[in-house]
Chain A
Amino acid sequence: MAEEKYLLEVKNLCRHFTSGKGKNKLTVKAVDDVSFAVRPAETFGLVGESGCGKTTTGRTIIRLYDPTDGKVIFDGREISGPMTKELRQYLTDNIAMIFQDPIESLNPRMTIEEIVGEGLAVRGMKDKEEIRKMVHEMLEKVGLTEEHATRYPHEFSGGQRQRVGIARAMIVKPRMIIADEPVSALDVSIQAQVINLLNDLKEEMGLTILFIAHNLSVVKYFSDRIGVMYYGRLVEVANGDDLYAKPLHPYTKALLSAIPEPNPITERTRQRVDYDPERDHDYSEEQPTMVEVEPDHFVYCSPSELKAYRKQLGIAD
């Protein structure tokens, strides 16, 4: 696998938050030893319940937070090292982010044109007319019109604001987008609209997307590969189809069982599985590690669990 070309590689990434000093020191391991890799032009879905560290992972990759430990490599270059002007430039040229909250993520005192055009202005584009033209083109692409450009964010609906956020991220032509729950705050009909838009743009621009979501139903048809996170750790990484067809980790199973089904008959009998790490694992003797159970399918498990999983998949030792 080592020769394979990845666009983004995250290796043993840790991000801990500390508060207090001395005796009162408190450490939150928001992200703890997370590794995964994203291929060019693929969509990687990062899923997990609220507070499991998805946002922190995304923000650490783009260096809104400094990693406590571990490495992040983008296109062969380490981007987790000491921050320099040049590295910041490299990051902003290559990775952009879409945020979770459609209200919070747009400056209430700037017009849409200023918000979307800021990335261009920062890149030294001086010609106001040219910026305006590009902004209008971009707005067109996300389904907004020219005349929305002079408006302020408070005049828009949640879905529209989120599309503005997408326009802002896309206009600088990044190679990768980190989309942090871009649809969680929207209602279901608008969710599809925004996801389809992201998908179209991805196709058009050959983007790589790290798509963060808190339930599997959103990433289901959208992601090529999916990573499942639980309490700051990745517990299972697999191709989208594999994850649905043969989930291994009990937490993945729990998440899958939480997806509502469109068929009213089967939906009524859907069995909700819950996950309790105390009950589902016995790590008193063996320590769990991330293991590749079958090609491209990783699970966080102990040796004995591994054996069980292999048996389940019908793979001989």
Chain B
Amino acid sequence: MKYIDHNIPEEILNIPAEQFELVERENIKDEKFKTEPIGFFKDAMRRMGKSKPTMISLYIIVAIIIAALIVPLFTGYKYDEQNVSFKNLPPKIPGIEKLGIADGSRVLTNRKASSLEDPDRFPEGCIIEIVNEYEYKGTPVVDVKVDYYKYLGVPEDQYHWFGTDYLGRDLMTRLFRGTRISLLIAFFSVITNVIIGVIYGAISGYYGGKVDMLMTHFAEVLDGLPYIVMTILFMILLGPGMFSIILALCVTGWIGTSRLIRAQFYRFKGREYVLAARTLGVKDITLIFRHILPNTVGPLITRAMIAIPGAIFSESFLAYIGLGISPPEPSIGILLADGQNVLLQYPNQTLFPAILISLLMIAFNLFANGLRDALDPSQRGEE
């Protein structure tokens, strides 16, 4: 043998073969796990619980839903109860009124100074302070801050937390009742969209080929129809109302979901574990629902959650252009549309619905993000 540069001692190199002994391969036995088994959803929930923004947004959503359910029952007013003599009242909230906000006061401008003395115009004790004094064409004129409730002769114990609208209806009752309607519309349109979208996307993505091509083209054609036109058509056919709006939102709303699901199916149907199940003879329907669909749950829930504020917004938009549900039923959109007519005089009529819809949107978006992170399988078992 050629000399090779190595530093292995001679005695090791020259061990005769007989001296080698075959080490018996011990049986493979694995250690027990020390941790508890944890299911996928439990794990996801645990991770979600650790995320503060997600939990806060969840609390906000729950609070709004509960408020929408019970507030209209406890305000003491009905959403369609009109009282034209008490219209456009400012907010007045017991307790807080002492702090100088939400105390039912309003500044009346350009009043003749002399009229302040007239108890028919300004009932006793309603004037809080004179804000401004000046002269207009020789007449003394004042801007005066009054207790508007006393000014209009509203009974002492009658409070409207968010004020009243142009027909004297209690805005708080209407706002939370409107939230109920908006949430309902959002919920139904999202549920139907998700169901149609999932089934459509799953079939088109799983089978691929010609089926997929036809289904995709069909969806594209539908997607081209403007949804305002669709809404108007449904309203002509079925009359204005919740049902027409939900239907219109459903006709095209599912297309985005189905695209998402289809893409996920393309991504996952070739995975080895899906192929493994196929070689075991697992049926298509089981493959679709048990093996592939769970992977789409994360993006799907996120999408559905984001679609909720979208649907609420669409409804508001329709209400705004006069295609909303029929009066006197309120919705956030209708309240906003009504409120913005008098935005400068009575900003409170826009403020409260605007705050609520913003809260809803932010909360749903944050919650959707948190859920998506929690359901992301790549973060399994991580903190």
List chain A positions with a Cβ less than 8 A from chain B: 59, 62, 64, 88-89, 91-93, 95-97, 99-101, 104-111, 118-119, 122-123, 142-145, 147-148, 150-152, 154-155, 160, 163, 165, 168, 172, 192-193, 196-197, 264-265, 268-269
Minimum Cβ distance to chain A for residue B28 (Å)? 3
Give the distance in Å from the alpha carbon of A100 to the alpha carbon of B280 in the complex: 16
Contacts of A154 in B (CB 8 A): 380-381
Q: How far is the CA of A192 from the CA of B6 in the complex (A)?
A: 28
B30 and A122 form a contact (CB under 8 A): no
The main secondary structure of chain B at its interface with chain A is loop
- The answer to whether B281 and A144 touch across the interface, beta carbons within 8 angstroms, is no
Q: B279 near A122 (CB under 8 angstroms)?
A: no
Known contacts A143-B27, A265-B13; decide if A96 and B281 are in contact (CB<8 Å). no
Across the interface, do B4 and A269 meet the contact criterion of CB distance under 8 Å? Answer: yes
The smallest beta-carbon distance between B26 and chain A, in angstroms, is: 10
Asked if A107 contacts B281 (CB within 8 A), the reply is no
Supposing A145-B29, A150-B37, A160-B30 touch, asked if A105 and B282 sit within 8 A by C-beta, the answer is no
- A193 interface neighbour in B28, B35, B276, B381, Cβ under 8 Å: B28
Tell me which of A95, A109, A168 contacts B40 (CB under 8 A).
A109
Which residues of the partner chain B approach A269 to less than 8 Å between Cβ atoms?
Answer: 2, 4
Cβ contacts under 8 Å, B238 to chain A? none
List, sorted by A's number, 25 A–B pairs whose CB atoms are closer than 8 Å. Answer: A59-B275, A96-B280, A97-B275, A99-B276, A107-B273, A108-B40, A109-B40, A118-B277, A118-B282, A119-B280, A119-B281, A122-B281, A122-B282, A143-B28, A143-B29, A145-B29, A147-B33, A148-B30, A148-B33, A155-B381, A163-B28, A168-B276, A196-B25, A265-B6, A265-B13
Q: Does B291 contact A (CB under 8 A)?
A: yes
Q: How far is the CB of B291 from chain A (nearest CB, A)?
A: 6
Which residue of the partner chain B has the closest CB to A106? B273
Other than A151-B33, A152-B380, A264-B6, give 4 A-B pairs with Cβ distance below 8 A: A59-B275, A97-B279, A104-B273, A155-B35
- Residue numbers in B under 8 Å from A151 (CB-CB): 33, 37
Residues in B whose Cβ lies below 8 Å from that of A111:
37
Interface centre among B37, B283, B380 (most CB of A within 10 A): B37
| Alpha-carbon distance between A118 and B64 when the two chains are bound, in angstroms | 44
Kindly name the residue among B8, B33, B283 whose own CB sees the greatest number of chain A CB atoms within 10 A: B33
A219 to B368, CA, bound (A): 50
User: Considering the complex of A and B, which 7 residue pairs feature the smallest CB-CB distances, nearest first?
Assistant: A143-B28, A92-B281, A105-B272, A119-B280, A104-B272, A99-B272, A107-B273
Residue B50 is within 8 A (CB to CB) of chain A in the complex: no
Interface status of B377 (Cβ within 8 A of chain A): yes
Indicate whether A95 sits within 8 Å of B37 (C-beta atoms), given known contacts A105-B273, A107-B291.
no
Task: Check A92–B280 contact: CB distance below 8 A.
Answer: yes
Interface range on chain B (Cβ under 8 Å from partner)? 35 or more
Whether B4 and A265, one on each chain, are in contact in the complex, defined by CB atoms closer than 8 angstroms, is yes
Q: Return the chain A residue nearest B274 by Cβ.
A: A107
How many angstroms from the CA of A91 to the CA of B279 in the assembled complex?
A: 8
Establish whether residues A88 and B281, one from each chain, have CB atoms under 8 Å apart when the complex forms: yes
Task: Tell me the complex Cα distance, A317–B235, Å.
Answer: 91
Whether A165 touches B276, Cβ cut-off 8 Å, given contacts A155-B33, A265-B13, is yes
Contacts of B281 in A (CB 8 A): 88-89, 91-93, 119, 122-123
Are B32 and A147 in contact, CB atoms less than 8 angstroms apart?
A: yes
Is B278 in contact with chain A by the CB < 8 A criterion?
A: yes
- Chain A contacts for B35, CB-based, 8 A: 155
User: Could you say which residues of chain B place their CB within 8 Å of the CB of A147?
Assistant: 32-33
The answer to whether A104 touches B271, judged by C-beta atoms less than 8 angstroms apart, is yes
Q: Which residue of A lies closest to B286 (CB)?
A: A122
- Per the bound structure, the CA–CA distance linking A160 and B6 in Å amounts to 38
Task: Write the chain A residue with the least CB distance to B280.
Answer: A119
Partner of A64, one of B27, B28, B275: B275
Asked if B347 is at the interface of the complex by the 8 Å CB criterion, the answer is no
| Interface hub of B2, B13, B280, B290 (most chain A Cβ within 10 A) | B280
Q: Chain B contacts of A64 at CB under 8 A?
A: 275, 278-279
Contact (Cβ within 8 A) A99 B275: yes
A101 and B278 CA atoms in complex are apart in Å by 16
Q: How far is the CA of A172 from the CA of B279 in the complex (A)?
A: 11
Partner of B272, one of A101, A123, A148, A197: A101
Closest to B40 in A: A109
Whole-angstrom distance between the alpha carbons of A59 and B40 in the complex? 31
- Given contacts A92-B281, A151-B37, is CB(A105)–CB(B276) below 8 Å? yes
Which residues of A are found within 8 Å of B13, using beta-carbon distances?
265
B276 cross-chain contacts in A, Cβ below 8 A: 97, 99, 105, 165, 168
What is the CA–CA distance of A96 and B279 in the complex, to the nearest angstrom? Answer: 6
Interface pair B30/A197, CB less than 8 Å apart = no
Asked if B279 and A92 make an inter-chain contact with CB atoms under 8 angstroms apart, the answer reads yes
- The interface residues of chain B lying within 8 Å CB-to-CB of A104 are 271-273
Q: Which residues of A contact B290 (CB under 8 A)?
A: 110
- The closest CB in chain B to the CB of A123 belongs to B281
Within the complex, the shortest CB–CB distance from A8 to chain B, in Å, comes to 15
- Interface pair A143/B30, CB less than 8 Å apart: yes
B294: CB under 8 A from chain A?
A: yes
Contact flags B371-383 to A (C-beta < 8 A → 1, else 0): 0000001001100
Complex alpha-carbon distance, A151 and B32, angstroms: 11
Closest to B29 in A: A143
CB proximity of A137 to chain B, nearest CB, Å:
15
Report B-chain residues with C-beta under 8 Å of the C-beta of A92: 279-281
Q: How far in angstroms is the closest Cβ of chain B from A28?
A: 16
Instruction: Give the residues in chain A near B25, CB-CB below 8 Å.
Output: 192-193, 196
A150 CA / B29 CA spacing, docked (Å): 17
The reply to whether A144 and B30 contact each other, CB–CB distance below 8 Å, is yes
Residues of B within 8 A of A91 (CB): 279, 281
Map CB proximity to A onto B249-284 as digits: 1 under 8 Å, 0 otherwise.
000000000000000000000011101111111110
Q: What CA separation (Å) do A268 and B2 show in the bound complex?
A: 12
The 8 Å CB contact of B280, one of A122, A142, A193, is A122
Measured CB to CB, the nearest residue on chain A to B282 is: A122
B71 to chain A, nearest CB (A): 40
Chain A residues lying within 8 Å of B279, measured Cβ to Cβ, are 62, 64, 91-92, 95-97
Query: Which residue of chain A is the closest to B37 with respect to CB atoms?
Result: A150
Interface flags for B26-46 (1: CB within 8 Å of A; 0: not) read 011110110101111000000
Chain A residues near B8: list those with CB within 8 A.
264-265
Q: Is the CB of B30 within 8 A of A145?
A: yes
* List of A residues within 8 angstroms of B275 by Cβ: 59, 64, 97, 99
